[in-house]
Chain A
Amino acid sequence: MEPILKTENLWKIYRAGRLDVAALRGVNVDVYPGEFVSVMGPSGCGKSTLLHVIGGLSQASRGRVLLDGNDLAALGDAGRTLLRRHKVGFVFQRFNLLPTLNAKGNIALAQHIHGDGFDPHRFDVVTRMLGLTDRLDHRPSELSGGEQQRVAIARAIINEPKIVLADEPTGNLDTKNSENVLGLLRQLNKDLGQTIVMITHNPEAAAYGNRVLHMRDGLVVDGASAN
């Protein structure tokens, strides 16, 4: 089987003033369809940077990123925009819902940007699965953290992305809500075969995945590929 995501000698160098910071220093990882990969490592080791680069939010300095057969390094801004639109779903630590739209609007917005219009069936399936059916008319400010993150997950998967990239999705949640959200991610992975890469600090959270990838100083030190 071909990996859905593959990086080859991936480098990301930030220019901070006169200093160059190498956040990724030759990362090689494979993610196969249907995997739920947890990414662990100390703060500042390059986890978020890796997620941004493989999701097409920022550009690699060197090396290759193959996502569903497309080489992101060869794509310009417009190409990466299309890739994000059609193949990637992001979930952030801070939920990042639009405060002016209610839950339904936030999810529908992703469908609108995706361009296929509103698909009521898919919307129904996703919101029911995430237990959001009676929260849809509420604005983010009227929802609990756990509910907001469930809306964000619904928004991420509404367009059936090839891969969901989650950056510490439980970082702002209490234990109970964390367990709830992690359980939902596992369910998405198991029931829908959704491929997920999730960054986390917490070993218990990491255990929800079926592989843990360890990073240190811009390198993957363990679990780079399924075997």
Chain B
Amino acid sequence: MIRHMILRNVMYRPVRTCITIIAVAIEVTLVLIVVGLTSGMLSDTAKRIEGIGADIMVQPPSASIFMAFSGAPMPIEIGQKLAQIKNVRAVAPVLLQFNSTNGLDIIYGIDPESFREVSGGFVFHDGRDLQNANDILVDDWYAKGRKVKVGETLHVLGHDFNVAGIVEHGKGARLFVLMSTLQELSGARDKASVFFIRCDHPEQTAKVIGAISQLLPHYEVRPLRDYLSLMTSSNLPGLQTFIHSMIMLAAGIGFLVILLSMYTTIIERTREIGVLKSLGASRGYIVRVILSETIALCLAGILLGVAMSYTVRWLFLTAFPTLTIVVAPSWLLRAAAIAIIGGLVGASYPAWIASRKDPVEALAYE
């Protein structure tokens, strides 16, 4: 009976119903896309850093594990000290730089020789390694996404680079230039943002980390084997806050729209509530009618929101092929729960008001 009544009620005001459903859908989409983008970006970065093949990563004190966010560079001489530590086979200094022309990319400034020793070298799809100051390497995804070919000119960081080669993806960044070039361009002469270290044997990682920590007490020294598992938003306080804020914002939209929608609904149906009361409907019955209607609206919004999320994801991936957006099933459930809980909280005040209306006054309502 209640189900029947809800269906009729929500169809009675189609515009308001649609707006409410769309608002809930936006809420769900916002949650899924924000989380999908950040976790996609994180796992993507993590995989690429793991893919470098180094054993240890050394960063300046208090650097973020999400390397891209930490600009603070270290003097390059530290690399020589690190190389002298027992069981260290190779040290590759890397300077990081953001490039925001046409999307957001990280550029690695590398020394080809040491980077090769640490990582085992690039797999070339086309072209050759870095040789000249204005050479740039791009990975195959970037090349495909931006339709870049060897020998073409690529404009990044306000500089025209010559695409020297296309390499297999998964070696830290999608763009590589000579470290000296990047140092010059970013005014960071003789600086490096991170050192990647390869040990003689992977089992020596812990021992080498111990030795580095003694040598450089406050520096961030991390093993790369577990990097992917470390690379979650909960290990990134700033990012965690950002995600939480976005979720709160999304839930706030749902909450307010449902609150307003159900509030106007119960005002408009004041007399009907009086009728229900005259028939002997309890407060609980009236609350149930209103909350059931809310859940119905939320469910419709969730379905639309999931469809919208996949559409938005598809649009994003079409526009920016190098992006990764992970819509995880667990987050589908969480987004649905956020929408329903936000909706129920929003509807609880109108439901409470409705359940407490005086029946005689309600029946006299025009």
Contacts and interface: CB of A to CB of B under 8 A. Distances in A.
Interface of A: 52, 55, 57-58, 77-78, 81-86, 88, 90, 92, 96-101, 105, 108-110, 112-114, 155
Q: Size class of B's contact patch?
A: 20 to 34
Nearest to A117: B1
Contacts of A78: 282-283
29 contacts: A52-B360, A57-B277, A57-B359, A57-B360, A57-B363, A77-B283, A78-B282, A81-B277, A84-B277, A84-B278, A90-B278, A90-B279, A92-B363, A96-B275, A97-B275, A100-B5, A100-B9, A101-B4, A101-B8, A105-B1, A105-B5, A108-B1, A109-B5, A110-B279, A112-B1, A112-B2, A113-B279, A114-B280, A155-B279
Given A77-B283, A88-B280, 13 more contacts: A78-B283, A81-B277, A84-B278, A85-B280, A98-B275, A99-B12, A100-B5, A100-B11, A109-B279, A112-B1, A112-B2, A113-B276, A113-B280
Contacts, number: 70
B279 A85 contact: yes
Contacts of B275: 96-98
A58 B358 contact: yes
B271 interface: yes
A88 B277 CA distance: 12
A92 to B, nearest CB: 7
Interface string B264-300: 0000000110111111111101000000000000000
Interface in B242-275: 271-272, 274-275
A105 B4 contact: yes
Interface in B11-34: 11-12
A123 to B, nearest CB: 13
B256 to A, nearest CB: 25
Contacts of B274: 96
A84 B274 CA distance: 12
A86 B12 contact: no
A84 B278 CA distance: 7
A188 to B, nearest CB: 18
A77 B4 CA distance: 27
B360 A58 contact: yes
A174 B217 CA distance: 97
A85 B280 CA distance: 4
Closest 10 CB pairs of A and B: A85-B280, A100-B8, A112-B1, A84-B280, A90-B278, A57-B359, A96-B275, A113-B281, A113-B279, A58-B360
A84 B363 CA distance: 15
Contacts of B277: 57, 81, 84
Contacts of B279: 84-85, 90, 109-110, 113-114, 155
A113 B8 contact: no
A116 to B, nearest CB: 12
B180 to A, nearest CB: 75
Nearest to A152: B275
Contact of B280 (A52, A81, A96): A81
A132 to B, nearest CB: 18
Nearest to A106: B275
Given A98-B5, A100-B12, A101-B8, A86 B358 contact: no
